[in-house]
Amino acid sequence: MDRDTATHSISDGLFRYDGTSMWPLFKPGDLLGVQSVPVNELKVGDCIVYRKAGDRAFTVHRVCALHPDIYTKGDRRPCRDDHSVAPADIKGRVDTRVRHGRRTRVRGGRLAALQGRILQLASRLDPDRPARLGWLARQVRW
């Protein structure tokens, strides 16, 4: 099992991603722009940054359920996290990613959750095969 997705705060609203559970959407070294949002504005599929009480590092995962509690899941993980996230633990929603100096908008909602699922499946393909979607695997590979 890959380790949890941890981030380190660089400045207010900007985090350095350091983990594997959201790969390939986020890769180690990516900078994530985080915007504070009210909990009632979160949608299933949004990527959020949170820190559970007692933890030193922040976690970045995608919201997979909102009612009655907030549950999250890493795109690379097969099932949701076994703990819920308290609204007070949420730092904000990821709205941008900076990789190699290029800023990209991070979408939320159900279409983003579908995109995460497609990327997860594509990452399992063999990039060395000329057929059977090997070209897609080469696009999402490290």
Residue 88 CA to its chain's centroid (Å): 19
How do residues 39-95 score in pLDDT, each as one tens digit?
A: 999 999 999 999 988 888 899 999 999 988 999 999 888 889 999 999 999 999 999
**Beta strand 47-50 with 31-35: parallel, antiparallel or unpaired?**
unpaired
What is the pTM for the complete model shown?
A: 0.79
How do residues 86-141 score in pLDDT, each as one tens digit?
A: 999 999 999 999 999 999 999 888 888 888 778 777 666 666 666 556 666 666 66
